[in-house]
Amino acid sequence: MSTNDENVEVAKLQQEITKYIGLNPDHIIFDFSEKDNINKLSLITVNPKHEQSFLYHTTKGIDKIDALKKMKEYILEYRKNENSYTLQWIQQGAEELNTSYFRADSMYEALDKFYFGRDMASYKIFSIYLNPIS
């Protein structure tokens, strides 16, 4: 596949993923990195209310397209396999309590998604709980 075709495929997959998640494209970040010939994709969402970013999920692939295909597969299947958690938190120095929701295998994974890319000392978690199955 030529580079141009790869770019078109990457853009197409990113649009599909954005549509499946149901957020404005301005609130989704596709963060790619490469190490030892493995492409890592961290999909990050930005909450429009409090403008904080959170890790949605991470996948790895042999190239960007492979990583994006794995992300799409995860998105289409994750509700069947993961629990829903609610976190109530506040940023140090702020006065407003925030509520955020995460899909994760465990409470610890939900916390990892919350703290992704941020200083743990700058945030205080007031509660985390597993939401009832609906």
Q: Could you report the per-residue pLDDT of 24-55, keeping only the tens digit for each?
A: 999 999 999 999 999 999 999 999 888 899 99
Give the number of other CB atoms < 10 A from CB of residue 76: 12
Predicted pLDDT at 80: 76
Would the pLDDT of 1 be above 60? no
Burial class (CB in 10 A: 0-12, 13-18, 19+), 21: middle
User: What average pLDDT does range 74-84 have in this prediction?
Assistant: 86
Are residues 20 and 57 part of one domain?
A: yes
Of 61, 80, 99, the one marking the end of a domain is 80
**Domain span at residue 99?**
82-134
Region of 36 (left: φ > 0; alpha: ψ -120 to 50; beta: rest) is left
**pLDDT band at residue 74 using 50, 70 and 90 as cut-offs:** very high
Residue 14, pLDDT above cutoff 90: yes
Residue 97 to residue 90: CA distance in whole angstroms: 5
Asked whether residue 43 falls in the same domain as residue 109, the answer is: no
**Closest CA relative to residue 100, chosen from 92, 108, 109, 90:** 90
